[in-house]
Amino acid sequence: MDTGIVIVGASLAGAKAAEALRAEGYQGPVTLVGDESERPYERPPLSKGYLLGKEEKEKVYVHPADWYERHGVTLRLGTAATGVDPAGHTVTLEGGERLPFSKLLLATGSAPRTLPVPGGDGDFVRTLRRIGDSEGLRAVFRPGARVVVVGAGWIGLEAAAAARTAGAEVTVLEAAELPLLRVLGREAAQVFADLHRAHGVDLRLGVEVAELRADGVRLGDGGTVPADVLLVGVGISPNTALAENAGLTVDDGVRTDQHLATSHPDVFAAGDVANAFHPLFGRPIRVEHWANALNQPAVAAASMLGKSAVYDRVPYFFTDQYDLGMEYTGHAEPGGYDRVVFRGDVAGREFIAFWLSGGKVLAGMNVNVWDVTDPIRELVRSGRPVDPERLADPAVPLAEL
Ligand SMILES: Cc1cc2nc3c(=O)[nH]c(=O)nc-3n(C[C@H](O)[C@H](O)[C@H](O)COP(=O)(O)OP(=O)(O)OC[C@H]3O[C@@H](n4cnc5c(N)ncnc54)[C@H](O)[C@@H]3O)c2cc1C
Given a contact cutoff of 8 angstroms between Cβ atoms, the answer to whether 271 and 166 are in contact is: no
Look at ligand 1, atom 37, and give the residue with the nearest C-alpha: 108
What is the tens place of the pLDDT at every residue in 208-250?
999 999 999 999 999 999 999 999 999 999 999 999 999 999 9
Residue 34, ligand 1, Cβ within 6 A: yes
Given a contact cutoff of 8 angstroms between Cβ atoms, the answer to whether 47 and 159 are in contact is: yes
Residue 133 CB partners (closer than 8 Å, separation 6+): 46, 126, 127
Average pLDDT, the chain: 97
Look at ligand 1, atom 7, and give the residue with the nearest C-alpha: 44
Burial label for 316, CB within 10 Å (0-12, 13-18, 19+), is: buried
Given a contact cutoff of 8 angstroms between Cβ atoms, the answer to whether 76 and 94 are in contact is: no
Residue 265 has pLDDT above 90, yes or no: yes
Task: Say how far apart CA 12 and CA 297 lie, in whole Å.
Answer: 9
What is the tens place of the pLDDT at every residue in 309-337?
999 999 999 999 999 999 999 999 888 99
Residue 334 has a pLDDT of 86
Q: How far is the CA of 43 from the centre of ligand 1 (A)?
A: 6
pTM score, whole prediction: 0.97
What percent of the chain lies above the pLDDT cut of 90? 98
Residue 19, ligand 1, Cβ within 6 A: no
Look at ligand 1, atom 53, and give the residue with the nearest C-alpha: 129
SS3 category, 135: helix
Task: Say how far apart CA 309 and CA 330 lie, in whole Å.
Answer: 21
Q: How far is the CA of 110 from the centre of ligand 1 (A)?
A: 6
Residue 246, ligand 1, Cβ within 6 A: no
Residue 187 has pLDDT above 90, yes or no: no
What average pLDDT does this structure show over 7-20?
Answer: 99
Q: How far is the CA of 393 from the centre of ligand 1 (A)?
A: 38
